[in-house]
Structure 1
């Protein structure tokens, strides 16, 4: 349970930091802490359940691009989270760059706290 809460908080903080750093990803006006936590929860669930399926289905193209297609999969996950939460993403390009920044922020947060 402790690990779940830690992961939820790290996802939430990473989404918030990304929304502060990049204007293509932001939360709807009037979003509160609960909206951020729900977005972090949905993001964690999407990464745990949907992302592995997408990576498996796109394995041939991922191999051809030497793993760079994973960035597209990450953008699709971010768009999926935006559809289900108060997170707003400006188009696919916004999702692509937002997912790249989110990955870097998550990496730094994981390195600091784990």
Structure 2
């Protein structure tokens, strides 16, 4: 049950982030859920491969190149999902940062309190 709630909250985070940014467009909550699913899949499959190939530049930039990888993953999702549009690399970078903040907040809010 917790996984379904986290998935729905991720879709909400995508929708809220797109609402706050002029350069990112989502056509509705259904597409936001699709973006969340494709983004999770891309983060599981594509991102580790990109990280392995870019280890030297990631070390040289003290990990900041991982932000570029996140933006590239967002642009890949833009290409794959028809109801999701990002206007450029910098919007994708900003979207990934704001989305991670929203996902972190929603994850903290959805955790069960232990007494």
TM range (shorter): 0.7 to 0.9
Match runs of 1:49-88 below 5 Å: 49-85=45-81, 86-88=83-85
Q: Is the 8 Å Cα contact of residues 15 and 28 (structure 2) preserved in structure 1?
A: no
Q: Is the 8 Å Cα contact of residues 62 and 70 (structure 1) preserved in structure 2?
A: yes
Q: How many residues align?
A: 110
CA RMSD of aligned residues (A): 1.5
The offset of 1:3, in angstroms, is 4.5
Q: Which has more radius of gyration?
A: 2
Match runs of 1:33-52 below 5 Å: 33-52=29-48
Structure-2-length-normalised TM-score: 0.85
**2: CA distance between counterparts of 1:26 and 1:32?**
9
- Which whole-Å deviations, capped at 9, do the CAs of 1:6-30 have from their partners, x for residues lacking one? 3422321121111011112111xxx
Structure-1-length-normalised TM-score: 0.86
